[in-house]
């Protein structure tokens, strides 16, 4: 069993040059942003002399390649630098924000599955009929609506008018966190559902027409027991890859959603850093997002291998 997961160390090694490329890309793209961080920090008290002195203090007057190698040297030693805005270690700011963002992503994933699985099963049970058409219209609408617009509509409908959920914030206690995260998680789930439903619907229809499902029906299996015992696992195999891709997409979307709902996660940290030209913070958040996408890709392959005995990615790595 464990032999089938030998591809994981190889994938991790293959990720090293990718991470290096990400650091290179992020560093130089950040420095293409217009404006001078020293001007932002000094504000109205900025003078040419003070700006020049702060640039020297921050090392911003050094050649870009020298700044990059210094950034890389600090990164390899675990030092992400000091935030120009908060005057605090960037690593601490990022570590405080990561659990919030991961909680939001996990909540959104759960909600998307809670919505997608029943709707896909409903559509697949009556292809071409009214339930299937209604579900397909939902997927078209969900895919066509921007996330930030969906978030604003949910705020107006469920937050302002119905007053069922808070319109922003993260809450003060562990019990309050899911309550405060429901609307942003639902916003992200609606964006994730269309592709998940379409994939699961198509694979469910194929599985329902297979010989082993016909055999199960002849033995008396029907309804939920048939779907749970014989259909869901096999239908979910192609959808695992779709979910993995969507998670990578969602971590980017969460940056905007966190700002819309005033959630103090990586998204709010990133956007605030962009507005204040806080280079170290922007680089740290972008690097974490890249690492998250890489890890999700590897975990997707692990789950895919675990639920489908026919898949053996370790043999491909050896080849």
How confident is the model over 241-253, as a mean pLDDT? 77
The pLDDT value recorded for residue 300 is: 80
The pLDDT value recorded for residue 67 is: 79
Of 97, 94, 80, the C-alpha closest to 280 is 80
Q: Whose structure tokens read 């009556």?
A: 126
**Alpha-carbon distance 131 to 296, whole Å?**
33
- The percent of residues above 70 in pLDDT, for the chain, comes to 84
The pLDDT value recorded for residue 226 is: 67
pLDDT in tens, 93-111: 989 999 999 999 999 999 9
The pLDDT value recorded for residue 99 is: 92
The pLDDT value recorded for residue 53 is: 81
The pLDDT value recorded for residue 110 is: 92
Q: Token pair for residue 288?
A: 């974490």
pLDDT in tens, 5-18: 677 787 888 888 88
pLDDT in tens, 249-287: 777 777 888 888 989 998 888 888 888 778 888 888 888
Q: In sequence order, which residues have a C-beta less than 8 Å from that of residue 40 and are 6 or more positions away?
A: 84, 276, 277
Decide: 232 and 303 in contact? Cβ < 8 Å: no
The answer on pLDDT for 23 being more than 70 is: yes
Return the sign of the alpha-carbon dihedral for residues 41, 45, 48, 50: negative
**Alpha-carbon distance 282 to 259, whole Å?**
15
Q: In sequence order, which residues have a C-beta less than 8 Å from that of residue 145 and are 6 or more positions away?
A: 190, 191
**Alpha-carbon distance 44 to 268, whole Å?**
25
The answer on pLDDT for 168 being more than 70 is: yes
The pLDDT value recorded for residue 317 is: 52
Architecture per CATH, 94-275: Orthogonal Bundle (1.10)
Please list the alpha-helical segments (H only) found in the chain: 7-30, 37-42, 48-58, 64-76, 90-125, 130-144, 147-154, 176-208, 211-218, 223-226, 232-260, 266-275, 279-307, 313-318
Q: 141 vs 3, which has greater pLDDT? A: 141
The answer on pLDDT for 124 being more than 80 is: yes
Query: Residues 30-49, buried b or exposed e (16+ Cβ, 10 A)?
Result: beeeeeebbeebeeeeeeee
Q: In sequence order, which residues have a C-beta less than 8 Å from that of residue 277 and are 6 or more positions away?
A: 33, 35, 36, 37, 40, 84
Q: In sequence order, which residues have a C-beta less than 8 Å from that of residue 204 and are 6 or more positions away?
A: 120, 121, 124, 231, 235
The answer on pLDDT for 126 being more than 60 is: yes
The pLDDT value recorded for residue 40 is: 67
Instruction: Indicate the domain borders of the chain.
Output: 1-85+277-319, 94-275
pTM of the complete model = 0.81
How confident is the model over 243-250, as a mean pLDDT? 77
The answer on pLDDT for 86 being more than 70 is: yes
Q: In sequence order, which residues have a C-beta less than 8 Å from that of residue 300 and are 6 or more positions away?
A: 240, 241, 243, 244
């Amino acid at each position: 069993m464990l032999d089938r997961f030998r591809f994981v160390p190889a994938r991790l090694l293959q990720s090293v040059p990718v991470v290096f490329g990400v650091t290179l890309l992020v560093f130089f793209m950040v420095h293409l942003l217009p404006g001078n961080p020293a001007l932002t920090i000094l504000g109205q008290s900025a003078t040419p002399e003070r700006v020049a002195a702060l640039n020297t203090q921050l090392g911003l007057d050094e050649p870009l390649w020298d700044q990059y190698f210094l950034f890389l040297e600090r990164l390899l030693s675990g030092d992400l630098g000091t935030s120009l805005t908060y005057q605090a270690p960037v690593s601490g700011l990022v570590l405080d924000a990561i659990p919030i963002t991961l909680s939001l992503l996990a909540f959104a994933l759960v909600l998307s599955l809670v919505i997608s699985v029943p709707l896909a099963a409903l559509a697949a049970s009556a292809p071409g009929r009214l339930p299937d058409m209604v579900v397909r219209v939902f997927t078209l609408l969900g895919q066509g609506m921007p996330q930030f617009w969906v978030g604003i509509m949910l705020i107006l409908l469920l937050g302002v008018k119905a007053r069922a959920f808070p319109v922003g914030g993260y809450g003060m206690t562990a019990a309050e966190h899911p309550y405060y995260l429901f609307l942003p998680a639902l916003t992200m789930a609606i964006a994730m559902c269309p592709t998940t439903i379409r994939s699961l619907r198509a694979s469910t229809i194929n599985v329902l027409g297979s010989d082993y499902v016909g055999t199960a029906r002849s033995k008396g299996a029907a309804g939920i027991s048939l779907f749970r015992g014989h259909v869901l696992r096999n239908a979910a195999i192609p959808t695992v890859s779709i979910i993995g891709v969507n998670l990578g997409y969602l971590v980017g979307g969460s940056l905007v959603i966190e700002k819309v709902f005033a959630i103090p996660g990586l998204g709010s940290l990133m956007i605030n850093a962009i507005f204040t030209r806080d280079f170290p913070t922007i680089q740290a958040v972008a690097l974490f997002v890249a690492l998250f996408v890489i890890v999700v890709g590897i975990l997707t392959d692990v789950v895919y291998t675990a639920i489908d005995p026919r898949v053996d990615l370790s043999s491909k790595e050896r080849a």
